[in-house]
Amino acid sequence: MHIPDGYLSPAVWLAMDVVAVGAVAGSARVVEKRLGERQVPALAVTAAFIFAAQMINFPVAAGMSGHLLGGALAGILLGPWSGTLVMTTVVTTQCLLFRDGGLTALGANVFNMAILSVLAGCAVWRAGGALPGKGNPRAVAFAAAWVSVVLAALAAGLQLFLSGRAGPVVLAAMLAAHALIGIGEGLVTTAALSTLGSVRPDLLEAERV
């Protein structure tokens, strides 16, 4: 889902830069005030896992790549603000060190994968928790992961459309591909949460920020 350089118009990538910088700065302020020592291991473990998972890429359409995101997992484990910072670190590191996604498109990629995907995953997870009996945690986690991937792909497609680089066919291909990727994302997310619950329950019990 990383957008390369040259695919977004200046108006689009500048607008996304402004939005991304504002959201990340706001998240940093919240985390600075609320982060405790108990939460630091969760941030490190989550960042390492997501970084490794995102390194597995495959082509989708119009020069775009598909891969597992991890936004919902980060949001569920850490909360929206810490999750956004962890995902921003992952996406930025991949751009600067591995050229995965363009520098001019960094703001858009951060918005899609580090902000929108995290917030969408958190929203579905919390909505599921509000159901009678708090719903089925695995089913809710799966849904949160799937929605986070599809919304991030939709945002990327709209950015390409507004830049004149993608038409309806490319948008449909992106959404179809990421609807399938979302299934894998859901399975990985539920498996990761189950494993952490068995091996490191303290990470799941830490306060979300």
Q: Is the pLDDT of residue 11 over 90?
A: yes
Domain count, the chain: 1
Q: Is the pLDDT of residue 178 over 70?
A: yes
In this structure, of 41-45, 48-52, 113-117, 191-195, the range with the lowest mean pLDDT score is 41-45
Q: Which two structure tokens, joined as six digits, stand for 101?
A: 């996604």
Q: Is the pLDDT of residue 143 over 70?
A: yes
Q: Is the pLDDT of residue 59 over 80?
A: no
CATH number (domain holding residue 172): 1.10.1760.20
Quick check: is 177 in a domain?
yes
Q: How confident is the prediction for the chain on average, in pLDDT?
A: 86
Percent with pLDDT over 90 in the chain: 49
Contact 118, 151 (CB under 8 A): no
Q: Is the pLDDT of residue 208 over 90?
A: no
Torsion angle of alpha carbons 189, 32, 129, 47, nearest 10°?
Answer: 0
Quick check: is 3 in a domain?
no
Percent with pLDDT over 70 in the chain: 84
Question: Residue 153 and residue 168: Cα distance in Å, rounded?
Answer: 14
Q: Is the pLDDT of residue 65 over 70?
A: no
Question: Residue 88 and residue 176: Cα distance in Å, rounded?
Answer: 25
Quick check: is 54 in a domain?
yes
Q: What is the DSSP string of 126-173?
A: HHHHTSGGG--HHHHHHHHHHHHHHHHHHHHHHHHHHTTS--HHHHHH
From the list 79, 47, 64, 82, the residue with the least C-alpha distance to 155 is 64
Query: Which ranges of the chain does DSSP label H, i.e. alpha helix?
Result: 10-34, 40-54, 71-78, 80-98, 106-110, 117-129, 137-162, 168-199, 201-205
Segment 92-132, tens digit of pLDDT:
998 998 888 899 999 999 999 999 999 999 999 989 876 66
Question: Residue 16 and residue 145: Cα distance in Å, rounded?
Answer: 23
Quick check: is 88 in a domain?
yes
Q: Is the pLDDT of residue 49 over 70?
A: yes
Quick check: is 4 in a domain?
no
Quick check: is 59 in a domain?
yes
Quick check: is 2 in a domain?
no
Which residue range forms the structural domain that includes residue 65? 10-205
The pTM assigned to this predicted structure is 0.87
Q: Amino acid letter at 172?
A: A
Q: Which residues are bridge partners to 59 per DSSP?
A: 65
Quick check: is 45 in a domain?
yes
